[in-house]
C-alpha cells in the first residue's frame, strides 16, 4: 500500500517517513509488507488510508481544488488538502480518532450492514421502528445506505429490509458501529483532541459529512468534525450540493476508486478521475 508512491516521489517519501516518527511506530512497514489482517486493525487502517490520500494530494504541486469533501475519515484528508489542518496535526488527530474508535468498539461489540435497493426513507423508517440501537450511517449513493448499531439491532433490521424489498442486506466486516450513538465515548475523546489542535483559514470550502454544506468557518468545521463520529455520513447529499454549486470534475485521492463510482451514481453528468501517483 502506497509503496509505488514512496519509490517515485521524494516528497511522498519525506511525508511517509515523517509519519512513522509522528506516530512512533513503523506504519509504512505495515503498509508496504503487512498482512491483510494487520492492515484491517482500526489503529492501522485509518492512518494508512489517511496517509495514502494526503500524500497523493500534497506531492502534486498542481493540485489546487476549488472545493473538497471526504467520506468519513476522508474529511481529515480533505482538511489537509485545503490547508485547514497541517499534515502533522491531522495525522495525530486521525491516530487518536482510530484509537478512540477501537476502544469504543471493544467496549460495545457492534456492527454495520449495507442495504442495497431500498429508498432512503424506507431504511430510515425501518431503523426507527426497532427497539435496539440501529441507525442510518452512510448515505453512499441512491439505493445504497449503510446502517450501524448493536449486533442484534442490525440483524433485525437486515431481516426487515429484505422483507421490505431490499435487493441485498450485507453484514460488513468492520470493527464496530461507526457513525452511531455507540461511538459517543470516542466522540468525547476526539472533541478534546480537536479543541487542542490549531485549525487555519482554508483555501476553499469543505463540504462536511454532518450537514452536506460548504464551510470555511473554523468554528463550524471543528464542531462538525466532532459531531461526525456519531452522525451519518451524508455523501449523497454532499455530492449533490457540490454539483449544484458548480463542481464538474471530481478527483479522488487515495487507494481505490470507490468514491468515483459513487459520485457517478449520484451525479452522472460530472467527470471523475484519480489524482495520479
The answer to whether residues 95 and 128 belong to one domain is no
Q: Which domain holds residue 133?
A: 109-171
Rounded Cα distance, 247 and 196, in Å: 33
Per-residue model confidence (pLDDT) at position 29:
93
Its pTM surpasses 0.85: yes
Share of the chain above pLDDT 90, in %: 86
* Residue 276 binned pLDDT confidence (cut-offs 50, 70, 90): low
Name which of 40, 50, 41 is nearest 72 in CA terms: 50
Asked if 237 and 212 count as a contact pair (C-beta separation under 8 A), the reply is yes
Indicate if the pLDDT at residue 150 is higher than 70. yes
Grid cell digits, residue 103: 476502544
Average of per-residue pLDDT across 12-37:
93
**Between 243 and 1, where is the model more confident?**
243
Rounded Cα distance, 229 and 232, in Å: 8
The answer to whether residues 72 and 193 belong to one domain is yes
Q: Which residues are catalytic?
A: 72, 179
Name which of 149, 89, 79 is nearest 115 in CA terms: 149
Share of the chain above pLDDT 70, in %: 99
Give the model confidence (pLDDT) of 230-248 as tens digits.
999 999 999 999 999 999 9
* Residue 113 binned pLDDT confidence (cut-offs 50, 70, 90): very high
Give the model confidence (pLDDT) of 216-225 as tens digits.
999 999 999 9
Per-residue model confidence (pLDDT) at position 188:
96
For residue 72, give every residue at least 6 positions away whose Cβ sits within 8 Å of its Cβ, in sequence order, or none.
138, 178, 179, 209, 228, 233
The answer to whether residues 50 and 148 belong to one domain is no
The answer to whether residues 114 and 101 belong to one domain is no
Q: What is the CATH number of the domain that holds 132?
A: 3.30.70.250
Average of per-residue pLDDT across 53-75:
91
Mean pLDDT, rounded, of the chain: 95
Indicate if the pLDDT at residue 277 is higher than 60. no
The answer to whether residues 194 and 160 belong to one domain is no
The answer to whether residues 41 and 133 belong to one domain is no
Amino acid at each position: 500500500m502506497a509503496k509505488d508512491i514512496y519509490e517515485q516521489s521524494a516528497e511522498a517519501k519525506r511525508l511517509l517517513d515523517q509519519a512513522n516518527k509522528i506516530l512512533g511506530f513503523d506504519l509504512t512497514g505495515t503498509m508496504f509488507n503487512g498482512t491483510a489482517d494487520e492492515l484491517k486493525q482500526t489503529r492501522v487502517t485509518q492512518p494508512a488510508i489517511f496517509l495514502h490520500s494526503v500524500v497523493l494530494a500534497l506531492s502534486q504541486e498542481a493540485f489546487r481544488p476549488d472545493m473538497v469533501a471526504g467520506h468519513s475519515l476522508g474529511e481529515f484528508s480533505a482538511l489537509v488538502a485545503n490547508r485547514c489542518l497541517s499534515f502533522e496535526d491531522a495525522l495525530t488527530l486521525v491516530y487518536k480518532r482510530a484509537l478512540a474508535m477501537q476502544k469504543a468498539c471493544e467496549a460495545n461489540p457492534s456492527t454495520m450492514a449495507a442495504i442495497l435497493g431500498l429508498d432512503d426513507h424506507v431504511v430510515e423508517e425501518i431503523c426507527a421502528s426497532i427497539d435496539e440501537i440501529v441507525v442510518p450511517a452512510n448515505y453512499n449513493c441512491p439505493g445504497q445506505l449503510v446502517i450501524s448499531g448493536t449486533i442484534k439491532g442490525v440483524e433485525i433490521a437486515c431481516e426487515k429490509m429484505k422483507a421490505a424489498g431490499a435487493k441485498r442486506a450485507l453484514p460488513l466486516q468492520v470493527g464496530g458501529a461507526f457513525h452511531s450513538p455507540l461511538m459517543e465515548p470516542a466522540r468525547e475523546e476526539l472533541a478534546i483532541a480537536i479543541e487542542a489542535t490549531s485549525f487555519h483559514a482554508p483555501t476553499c470550502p469543505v463540504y462536511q459529512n454532518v450537514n452536506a454544506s460548504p464551510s470555511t468557518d473554523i468554528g463550524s468545521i471543528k464542531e462538525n468534525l466532532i459531531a461526525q463520529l456519531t452522525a451519518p455520513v451524508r455523501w449523497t447529499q454532499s455530492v449533490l450540493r457540490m454539483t449544484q454549486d458548480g463542481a464538474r470534475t471530481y478527483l479522488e485521492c487515495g487507494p481505490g476508486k470507490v468514491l468515483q463510482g459513487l459520485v457517478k451514481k449520484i451525479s452522472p453528468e460530472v467527470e471523475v478521475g484519480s489524482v495520479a501517483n
